[in-house]
Structure 1
Amino acid sequence: MSLAPTEKLTVKVAGYVAEAKDVVLLELRDVHDGVLPRFEPGAHIEMHLPNGLIRHYSLLNDSRETDRYVVAVGRAADGRGGSDYVHQRLAQGAQFQIGAPRNNFPLDPQAESYLFIAGGIGITPIMSMIRWCCANGRAWRLVYAARSRQRAALYEDIRLLGGANVHWHFDDERGGHLQAGDFVRDLGRGEQIYCCGPQPLMQAVQAACAGHHDGIAHFEWFSAPDTEARPAESGAFEIQLRRSGVSFMVPPDKSILEVLEENGFSIPFSCREGTCRTCETGVCSGTPEHFDYVLSAEERAAGKSMMVCVSRTSDPVLCLDL
């Protein structure tokens, strides 16, 4: 089964269990128990929650399964309401729509071996990668950090898949945070890094990778890095909407998304930070300045689409497929 990018599938919550402290595990199945679209390790789905929020969650089960999707949702104390709804209101039997699996964090099947570095709920996209490695006889090791053993999602699953390949780091037991650079410096020949977790962990791995060649490390950002320069410093420009036949000015202190919303356009969005790809919009003409964290280098160079929540242009006019 396959879905077009704009198509939605209705699923039901076939399983809902507490996985760890402040983490719940959801098993999703087609509402008619049909076959689900296939996915690749590292993929995520866009969940249209019953309260109207759109949120993205990584698929952590075996990518060969076509009868279910499994996601884990960590409760974020300072979140925007999605995780609270899942933890407080969602229950077994609930139904909602999802989009087709998308992958901003693909695993390179040609790598000789893999170093996975995960922090907290960042283990979720890594799990399908580990399952792929086990199924295909590929060498892997995992460094997994959490505040405590009780908050380590999928602890038993990881032990069963390959406990000897795992370095556990629990802050309360070790008396401090993981020093991720120690593992990056010990990188094997042909080994690639896949990292997902809190910003400090991700940035520490980025810094430790500075001496290695480009493309050796891959990151899945749950939120935009605090240290990144934001695009609000860019100047004003005009957007033309080809299909709608209208145009608007985008001032320096507003995003394209905000201007569209102010003028009555309903554009799907989730993060407003360029990390989820929900607001991706086609570009008809003009050169986008990309400030997102999801497009590949090839997609950026092609300039055929952009994330209107953060990306801009230095051209006087940008024409969008809206």
Structure 2
Amino acid sequence: MVVTLEVSAKETVAEGVVTLTLTHPAGARLPDWTPGSHIELVLPEGTIRHYSLCGNRWDAYTYRIAVLREPLGRGGSSYVHDALRVGDRVGVGGPRNHFPLVPSEKYLFIAGGIGITPLLPKVRQAELLGADWQLLYGGRTRASMAFAEELAAAHGERVRIAPQDECGLLDLVSWLGTPRPDTKVYCCGPAPLLAAVEAACAHWPPYTLRTERFTAADRSAPVRDTPFEVELRRTGRTVTVTPEVSVLDAVRRVGAEVLSSCEQGTCGTCLTPVLQGRPDHRDSILADHERAANTCMFLCVSRSCDDRLVLDL
């Protein structure tokens, strides 16, 4: 469901980064959220973009997001920076959380650039719980790193600010140290950083590392290039999915009402329970153990390993 919220504040917090504070026009309470949640921002000209909530989760009346200007993007960030004004109204869907903070004695947080946004609420939650945590935050320059000063001032030695022009690339191997079973690692940032962190954590215990991507990961070819059937258990309908058609489009053709947004396997809007069969997971969200469970899939990009899938639709 999309609700209409008002831009009640807009602030430049770093070079190329603005924050928006969103409130209900009537002052109504907003849906609760948890660290790692994002919302879908529906701009007045119809563009839909996804942004992590980075404000105070205990403030029930405001949402805060941070938007990086992306000159090579599709225009959404430019609209936010150049055209959106305080008092304007936008549509908001969600919140949804596919990057939750799981219980742990210790946390290592790694952020690259605007990837700091989903980690801010996690840092606050870890602090509130009394967990042992540290944050490594890298970016192009110190001036481009949103919230860096407030993080350093609030948390001292727990936070390491490492601009690339001053420190070079992040020394992940040294910072991560020896694999530890009592520690969870969370990372968000550009694809090269995620790849480097995944490599550095390759010998850590399973399910230690959790990441969030802003763009879809590179996908290999599908497991199969032949048609398969999808049964919609609740309606009793069956549809054949051919190689050139997504599961999302196929089930919609037979009447399934499935919400979607990015259609790249990054936003999580089209998450659907799987009752039978093995999905060919092609999203950029699920962790390895979630893929192995085969209990859900993202219909926009994922397909099937078997001749037949049964979905809870």
Tell me the percent identity: 42
Look up the match of 2:193: 201
Contact in 1 for aligned 2:2/2:91 (Cα 8 Å): yes
TM-score by structure 1 length? 0.85
Partners of 1:73 and 1:119 lie apart in 2 by: 14
| Structure 2: 5+ residue stretches without partners | none
Write the mapping of 1:279-298 to structure 2, written as runs, cut at 5 A: 279-283=270-274, 286-295=277-286
Change (3 A) 1:250 1:77: farther
SS in 2 for 1:128: helix
Structure 1 stretch 241-250 or stretch 59-68: which is displaced more?
Answer: 241-250
Indicate the RMSD between aligned Cα atoms, in angstroms. Answer: 2.8
Q: Residue by residue, what CA displacement relative to the aligned partner does 1:195-242 show, whole Å, maximum 9, x if unpaired? A: 10011111111111111101211111112223x424375432234556
Partners of 1:163 and 1:300 lie apart in 2 by: 38
The reply on whether 1:159 has 2:168 as its aligned counterpart is no
Write the mapping of 1:233-252 to structure 2, written as runs, cut at 5 A: 234-240=225-231, 248-252=239-243
Partners of 1:108 and 1:248 lie apart in 2 by: 37
Runs (4+) off by over 6 Å: 242-246, 260-266
Partners of 1:129 and 1:156 lie apart in 2 by: 17
Structure 1 stretch 266-275 or stretch 26-35: which is displaced more?
Answer: 266-275
Contact in 1 for aligned 2:282/2:302 (Cα 8 Å): yes
SS in 2 for 1:294: coil
Write the mapping of 1:53-68 to structure 2, written as runs, cut at 5 A: 53-68=47-62
1:144: how far off?
0.4
Contact in 2 for aligned 1:286/1:317 (Cα 8 Å): yes
TM-score by structure 2 length? 0.88
Partners of 1:261 and 1:85 lie apart in 2 by: 31
Contact in 2 for aligned 1:231/1:310 (Cα 8 Å): no
Contact in 2 for aligned 1:30/1:36 (Cα 8 Å): yes
Look up the match of 1:171: 164
Count residues with an aligned counterpart. 313
SS in 1 for 2:202: helix
Look up the match of 1:3: none
Paired residue type of 1:140: W
Change (3 A) 1:179 1:234: farther
1:282: how far off?
4.8
Partners of 1:59 and 1:141 lie apart in 2 by: 20
The one of 53, 63, 67 aligned to 1:69: 63
| Structure 1: 5+ residue stretches without partners | 1-6
Change (3 A) 1:177 1:281: same
Contact in 1 for aligned 2:223/2:305 (Cα 8 Å): no
The reply on whether 1:134 has 2:127 as its aligned counterpart is yes
Contact in 2 for aligned 1:11/1:98 (Cα 8 Å): yes
